[in-house]
């Protein structure tokens, strides 16, 4: 009889196989997928090294490994991604939340301090990660998430249900300000993680992103700022006096985005916030007092 396929054998095999097909962090991917099949944590795998897998478990693991070999994002395969301490459901048709976007949440929460019952709008909401994180952190807030993609909003609604926030967040479908204008009212804070990958960069994205994640949520035009221009230029009409606009940016886009804010004429202040890698990641603009 051949040697059984135990957890201890499968982990290095998966790492070698995936690594040989150009997958980043192949051992981590193998562990995550094996944890999924066995219904345990990665730590528990190391306590079960001698455990053999049954035929059905091996077949399931092989299917997941083959999907990852084809460069399908591991988060799509697992169907979830952690963001700001909570688990979000993700899959085809929606952008996977990135760690750098947590800075957008942190900066928004800082501007909301001292405000009672604030009104928040999250543009390009995607999976709802930002909108739902803000709703969770500020139970007194009215939160609206908006996206052009009906498919993305389906994921946002699933996440709202999964996080017991269905009654706390309202969703609008449409192109930026069009559905927002129809909804009426002004906001204390507007956040946005818009598409900001340049057209040239789209061709250079890793397969996990370029082949699987929605182009609509990624591409921002020749300089990556097409949607940023619309957001920065239009937000002033939807912010309350001294309200805040916060927009995530791509690497190298900060100087031009800052000039867009200064030229808009609606803001008394525009600053840039760096992420942990030192990249100027978030543009923060304060609306002028109407008076």
What is the Cα–Cα distance from 90 to 75, expressed in whole angstroms? 7
290 is in an annotated binding site: no
Give the other-Cβ count within 10 Å of 129's Cβ: 31
The answer to whether 261 and 283 have CB atoms below 8 angstroms apart is: yes
Question: Hey, which residues does 87 pair with through a beta bridge?
Answer: 82
Give the DSSP letter string of 165-222: -TTTEEEEESSTHHHHHHH---EEEEEE----B-HHHHTTS-HHHHTTS-GGGTB--S
Asked whether residue 193 is marked as a ligand-binding residue, the answer is: yes
Using a 10 angstrom Cβ sphere, with 0-12 exposed, 13-18 middle and 19 or more buried, the burial of residue 68 is buried
> Inter-axis angle of helices 55-69 and 7-20, to 10 degrees?
20
Place of tokens 């886009």: 253
CA angle 40, 41, 46 (to 5 degrees): 100
206 assigned binding-site residue: no
Task: Check the annotation: does 194 bind a ligand.
Answer: yes
Strand pairing partners for 244? Answer: 189, 286
- How many C-beta atoms surround the C-beta of residue 252 within 10 A? 12
Q: How many CB atoms lie within 10 A of CB 92?
A: 12
Strand, coil or helix: what is 125? Answer: coil
Instruction: Give CA–CA dist 130/122, Å, rounded.
Output: 7
139 is in an annotated binding site: no
Annotated binding site: 147, 193-196
Annotated binding site for S-adenosyl-L-methionine: 147, 193
Annotated binding site for substrate: 193-196
């Amino acid at each position: 009889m051949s040697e059984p396929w135990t957890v201890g054998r499968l982990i290095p095999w998966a790492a070698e196989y995936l690594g040989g097909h150009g997958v980043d962090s192949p051992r981590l991917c193998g562990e995550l997928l094996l944890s999924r099949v066995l219904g345990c944590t990665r730590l528990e795998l190391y306590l079960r090294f001698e455990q053999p897998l049954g035929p059905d478990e091996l077949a399931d693991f092989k299917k997941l490994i083959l999907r990852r070999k084809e460069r399908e994002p591991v988060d799509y395969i697992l169907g979830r991604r952690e963001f700001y301490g909570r688990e979000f459901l993700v899959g085809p048709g929606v952008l996977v939340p990135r760690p750098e976007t947590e800075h957008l949440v942190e900066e928004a929460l800082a501007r909301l301090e001292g405000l009672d019952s604030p009104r928040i709008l999250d543009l390009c909401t995607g999976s709802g990660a930002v909108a739902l994180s803000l709703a969770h952190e500020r139970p007194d807030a009215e939160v609206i998430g908006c996206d052009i993609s009906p498919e993305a909003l389906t994921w946002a609604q699933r996440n709202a249900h999964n996080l017991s926030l269905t009654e706390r967040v309202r969703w609008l479908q449409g192109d930026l300000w069009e559905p927002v204008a129809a909804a009426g009212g002004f906001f204390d804070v507007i956040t946005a993680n818009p598409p900001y990958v340049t057209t040239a960069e789209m061709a250079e994205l890793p397969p996990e992103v370029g082949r699987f994640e929605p182009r609509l949520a990624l591409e921002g035009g020749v300089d990556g700022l097409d949607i940023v221009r619309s957001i920065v230029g239009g937000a002033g009409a939807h912010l309350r006096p001294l309200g805040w606009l916060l927009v995530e940016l791509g690497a190298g886009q900060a100087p031009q985005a800052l000039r867009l804010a200064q030229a808009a004429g609606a803001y008394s202040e525009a600053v840039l916030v760096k992420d942990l890698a030192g990249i100027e990641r978030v543009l923060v603009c304060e609306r002028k007092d109407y008076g």
